[in-house]
Structure 1
Amino acid sequence: MPSTIVVGVDGSPASRAAVDWAARRALRFGSEIRLVHSVPEIWAPPFGPTSTDADGPAARALDAARARVAALLPAAAVHTSIRRGDPAVVLGDLSQDAGMVVVGADKPADARGEGFGAVGLQIVTHSACTVAIIPSAATHGSGVVVGVDGSPEADRALRAAAGEAEASGQALTIVHAAADPGYGRPRTAHDESGVPTTAERGERVLDAAAALVGARHPRVEVHRVLDMARSPAEALAVAAEGAALVVVGSRGRESVKHVRPGAIGPVVLARIACPMLVTTGAAGAM
């Protein structure tokens, strides 16, 4: 059975872009779509039955979202639901049985990619499957960009990105940032003889990544970027200019304990204008 794509809906421009993107992907892969509007519990009274005041707007937002996908998908492939709770928690729960969660890019970050309160980041840290974060403005770029650092999380992202590139017939750009994200300068190598320099270590990471892609996807055109001056988030943002898709890896639920400058948080919140896939390595990830 095709994996379900869960889409967070709130009626915003970014949400509409997410619905459109998910509909096109569902058509491509033969997936079903579940449109979900979450109503925070804070809207409910402290005592007595749960209020339904928010259900009317939620239902209208879901109806509008369903209408957006009606031209692409048969009615039987689209499901809607209103759920109670925080959006990140609700979508995280639903991710257990989904192939992908799709949300709009809800909050722009500053030039440094700061501002850890964004819902998109919270959903990434709660999700058990790949999360797609879609900007509200339509993009018409080309190429897939992925960040690598030799970690298992980055390798999973690399495999996903290579698959996306092959399926779409686009080139793949592999990016490795060799700068210290805390200080914005290249990490220096030791002076001992035989110890690789920072650039050499970066080239080795890129060599391994390119070899992995070549072995599994020999038809994919691969470009390499070794960025010696920027943090991972900044390097990806620069490489993603004009791209169709960016892919990054995350520890998923474990990343709640590891959000720090240079990790997944700044990448999710960076000014990246194209759709982004954040892989978690879950078995159900698409």
Structure 2
Amino acid sequence: MSATYYIGVDGSGPSRAALRWGVRRAAERNAAVVLVNTVDDEWGLVGRDAAADAERQARELLAEESERVAALHTGVTLTTRIVHGGTAWELARLPRPEDLLIVGTHKTGFLRGRVLGSRSVQIASAARCSVAIVPDTTLDSRHDVVVGVDGSDGCVPAVRIGAQEADRLDQDLLLVYAPPGRSDATEDRSPQTARLLFNAAAVASATASRITVRRRVAHRDPAEALLDASFDAALLILGVSARHGENALIGSVTHDVLMNINVPVLIARGTAATSESASLASTVSV
């Protein structure tokens, strides 16, 4: 069954950046698109007229954004949905595990923070499918695909998807590993690190044989290393460990990346292919 692309829309700049990114990708992959707008149920508490007005505004917004999609790519199969409740949780529950959820974010730049205050962080944590978070920033002239490698089971689907994306975009793939607990400039020549990156590169090459795969060990905070490596990248891909089930929350590194986002970030979750990935995970992990 083919994946469906769910795109959260609200008429904002980040929402439209996500719309452009998602529709272009869907057109290239012949994927159906569902535009989703949420209506907060609290409007019903204000009064029946307010709730009806909110519903009307949602319909008008979806009609306007549907016209944008038609102008971007006329061949895309498009439907719309209005859901009621909290935006993050209602968006997260719609897609199937094999689908892709795409949202925009106002977070751009280096605004450090550890509070779970960003809607994109909430969505990425709650979703059971892969999630793309797109900042409202210039995406022209970007190159290469970056994948964060950490040796967990979640990095295997991330590497595979990264290889597929690099192949699709005709770009290099850069694998970045920041050893935990190491922030000094001492070069890491440990056999475990070398084996981790070698095996990850092998997974990438087996997925897309014609791409160029580069490897980097970064001796700094992992989130900062990933943001730095992907500053001019077309896409940054991070995995989510499946050890705690399909609804596992994102880790602290992914959280910090999303709070300081400067590039489209794809949070890759394994689906039906997870059982196939298990043997690769045992090979890649150290």
TM-score when scaled to structure 2?
0.84
Q: Deviations over 1:26-74 (max 9, x none)?
A: 1101111100001122332189899223123222221221111102444
Indicate the residue corresponding to 1:238 in structure 2: 228
Aligned equivalents of 2:156 and 2:247: distance in 1?
17
**Residues 43/284 of structure 1: CA separation in 2 closer, same or farther (3 Å cut):** farther
Aligned equivalents of 2:145 and 2:116: distance in 1?
25
Q: Partner letter of residue 263 of structure 2? A: C
* Counterpart selection for 1:276 from 265, 281, 284: 265
Alignment of 1:1-286 (within 5 A): 2-45=2-45, 51-74=51-74, 77-96=77-96, 99-108=99-108, 110-112=110-112, 114-140=114-140, 141-180=142-181, 185-186=183-184, 198-200=188-190, 201-228=192-219, 230-251=220-241, 254-256=247-249, 259-260=251-252, 262=253, 264-271=254-261, 273-283=262-272
Q: Partner letter of residue 79 of structure 2? A: H
**Residues 60/166 of structure 1: CA separation in 2 closer, same or farther (3 Å cut):** same
Contact 1:178 1:187 in 2 (8 A): no
Contact 1:175 1:225 in 2 (8 A): yes
**Residues 238/26 of structure 1: CA separation in 2 closer, same or farther (3 Å cut):** same
Contact 1:58 1:82 in 2 (8 A): yes
Q: Partner letter of residue 60 of structure 1? A: E
Aligned equivalents of 2:101 and 2:270: distance in 1?
14
Contact 1:113 1:267 in 2 (8 A): no
Contact 2:128 2:247 in 1 (8 A): no
Runs of 4+ in 1 over 6 A off after TM superposition: 46-50
Contact 2:127 2:247 in 1 (8 A): no
Aligned equivalents of 2:255 and 2:22: distance in 1?
23
Aligned equivalents of 1:203 and 1:224: distance in 2?
10
| Structure 2 counterpart SS, 1:255 | coil
Q: Partner letter of residue 124 of structure 2? A: V
Q: Partner letter of residue 240 of structure 1? A: S
**Residues 210/52 of structure 1: CA separation in 2 closer, same or farther (3 Å cut):** same
Q: Partner letter of residue 276 of structure 1? A: V
Q: Partner letter of residue 161 of structure 1? A: G
TM-score when scaled to structure 1?
0.84
Q: Partner letter of residue 183 of structure 2? A: R
1:112 shift after superposition: 3.3
Contact 1:114 1:270 in 2 (8 A): no
**Residues 36/96 of structure 1: CA separation in 2 closer, same or farther (3 Å cut):** same
**Matched positions, count:** 269
Aligned equivalents of 2:98 and 2:161: distance in 1?
16
Percent of aligned pairs sharing the same letter: 33
**Residues 255/98 of structure 1: CA separation in 2 closer, same or farther (3 Å cut):** closer
**RMSD, aligned CA:** 2.7
**Residues 59/49 of structure 1: CA separation in 2 closer, same or farther (3 Å cut):** closer
Aligned equivalents of 1:51 and 1:240: distance in 2?
43
Contact 2:38 2:84 in 1 (8 A): yes
Q: Unpaired segments of 5 or more residues in structure 2?
A: 275-286
Q: Unpaired segments of 5 or more residues in structure 1?
A: 189-196
| Structure 1 counterpart SS, 2:95 | helix
